[in-house]
Amino acid sequence: MVSKYQAGITLLSDTCRLNMSSTSIDTCEEPSENGNQYFGIFAIGYICMGLGVTPLYSLGYAHCEDIVGRGKSSLYLSIMSAIAAFGPAAGFTIANPILNVFVDLKQPENSHLTPENRNWVGAWWLGYLVGAGIVILASIPMLGFPSLFDDTERVRKEKNKFADTNKEDHDLNHDLKSLWPSTKSLFKNVPFILICLGNAMESFLIGGFAIFLPKFIETQFHQTAAKSALLTGVVIIPGAAVGMFTGAFFVKKYKWDCKRIIRNAFIVSLLS
């Protein structure tokens, strides 16, 4: 689909210089639009990634709630959240050796680029292949999970004894007719909507931090892309792990109820 990468001769090849006569430079290079098709491929890829990861958050947490007791669920949910945060951080760390490999694996004969060169492009696509292989291997044992585990009914009955548990669980039919009633019911659930908004703001903050921190380190501290990715992983991994496990410890140790959990989450988010 695309030819092999060739480093540019000058960084100003697509710009017009001021006070230059037409005899020196007759025309300015027009920006190429051939990259639009590649952008579409990336967009489709991200959509597929979103479709694949959504069940882990929508069904995975619900499965965990159904098989773990009330006092232990916070610990297990924090482990799942910590692993979810550990994945991107580990990806930044793994990207360090990958980005030190040339994008086409082998450089042309007349090319002598190094990772320290500004024209260097690492083999970024190798990370997708490694990640896809790991996901396929992890999905194989998950195919054997039952729809209901052995302790599901017992755990549900124990949780129904608490005041903050919804006693009236109206299970709607899984068809298109129940889509609008279930959606309307969710929008009327004020605590649920506020929690969703809080998670959205948290993702907005963390997403921007994780995406732009490597580029900030690379440009402001003149580091290579590989080292910037490594430093980003070193920063994210301890912060995410310590924060999530500390929160789970306090919930389990002092038996916080939902109101106190939300209050402390608000305070910590405000301070951060």
pLDDT digits (tens, 9 = 90+) for 207-249: 777 778 888 888 888 888 778 888 887 887 777 778 877 887 8
Residue with tokens 């959606």: 183
What is the C-alpha to C-alpha distance for residues 221 and 235, in angstroms, rounded to an integer?
16
Q: Are 2 and 38 in contact (CB under 8 A)?
A: yes
Evaluate the CA torsion angle 217, 229, 108, 39 in order and state its sign. Answer: negative
Asked if the model's pLDDT at residue 75 lies above 80, the reply is no
Sketch the domain layout of the chain as residue ranges: 68-147+181-271
For 190, the token pair is: 């004020």
Using the 8-state DSSP alphabet, how is residue 189 labeled? -
Spatial distance between the Cα atoms of 270 and 272, rounded to a whole number of angstroms? 6
* Structure tokens, 249: 């410890």
Tokens representing 251 are 């919930």
Radius of gyration (C-alpha) of the chain in whole angstroms: 25
pLDDT digits (tens, 9 = 90+) for 120-154: 888 888 888 888 898 889 889 888 887 777 777 78
Q: What is the band of 171 on the pLDDT scale with cuts at 50, 70, 90?
A: low
User: Pick from 265, 259, 271: which is nearest to 247 by CA?
Assistant: 265
